[in-house]
Amino acid sequence: MGMFSKARLSVRLRSALWHAYSRRCFYCQDPISFVDLEIDHLLRVSLAEQPDILARWTKLLGLGSDFDLNSSTNLVPTHHGCNQRKGVTDLSEDSLRWYFEMTSAKQAAIAEQLMRLDREERTTDPLIRLASTIEQGLLTKGEVVAFLRRVGQPQVSPKDNPLVICWGMNLLEEETLEALPPEAPAGGPDLYDWLEEDLLATIEKVAKGVFAMVEDQRNGETIGVRIACWFQNVDEVVAAVQPPWELLEARYFMEIYEEPASHWYPQALDE
């Protein structure tokens, strides 16, 4: 006995149906997003277990004796709500007749979408495919990110995903200026350069391992410096960095930049 379920329908077929019906719900005609998409069987799938009733319907509707309940003629994109409202009751003969006319008219468009998807699948690597999926509006970036969160963090090497600490200070604040040592330049780019060098020198002295400045921001008012830390004694380094530097943020590299940090990892140590 066959078990039939919505889960049987491939993403490929769901996607083709969705596009062929202009990304709209078959019943209410309103737009549907791909994640909300449900595929409804016009003739309910459980008729597979009731061959006599199925045969009566297919005959009545002129669908042919080899009619497949999972064929694209029987499948329509719907909202969850619209699918639920239709419920488990059978549609009337008139509705079904009308609906099958509409789905029959869509078969060429569905076939075309399937061919397009096959073409894309053959030609691209998974990341490009993912990007194109986002571009086509099949999924939003947010949905992809949310999905990846559910899947869990992939195992990345610590080299690719160091902790990144951001230190900063506001140079328009009186307190900041007062806290600067006397040897600091009076202001301008010289001061910014000096501050960065001083910060890096402080870290260098304490860190038991490598680090790299991966970003600095200067806007005439504040300075912010992000340091990727491959060393383990982060607490000691944080304690060594003195005011007016403030610790603004500590996050993992891939969370901030959404790519591995490998190209920042000092070359000499890479071998």
Q: Collapse the DSSP code of 66 into the 3-class scheme (helix H, G, I; strand E, B; otherwise coil) and give the result.
A: coil
Contacts of 187 (CB under 8 A, 6+ apart): 171
Place of tokens 């209410």: 28
- How many amino acids of this chain bind Zn ion (CB under 5 A)? 4
Among 28-36, 86-94, 178-186, 242-250, which window interacts with Zn ion (CB under 5 A)? 28-36
* Cα 116 from Cα 122, distance rounded (Å): 10
The verdict on 28 binding Zn ion (CB under 5 A) reads: yes
Q: Does 25 bind Zn ion (CB under 5 A)?
A: yes
Place of tokens 């992000």: 226
Residue 236 Cβ, how far from Zn ion at the closest point, in Å?
59
* Of 85 and 116, CB closest to Zn ion: 85
Site for Zn ion in 109-128 (CB under 5 A): none
| Residue 82 binding Zn ion, by CB under 5 A | yes
Closest CA relative to residue 229, chosen from 184, 172, 162 = 162
Between 6 and 56, CB nearer to Zn ion: 6
Residue with smaller CB distance to Zn ion, 82 or 169: 82
Contact call for residue 79 and Zn ion (CB under 5 A): yes
- Residue 36 interacts with Zn ion (CB under 5 A): yes or no: no
Q: How is the chain split among helix, strand and coil, in percent rounded to 5? A: 50, 15, 35
CA separation for the pair 82, 26 (Å, rounded): 9
Binding site for Zn ion (CB under 5 A): 25, 28, 79, 82
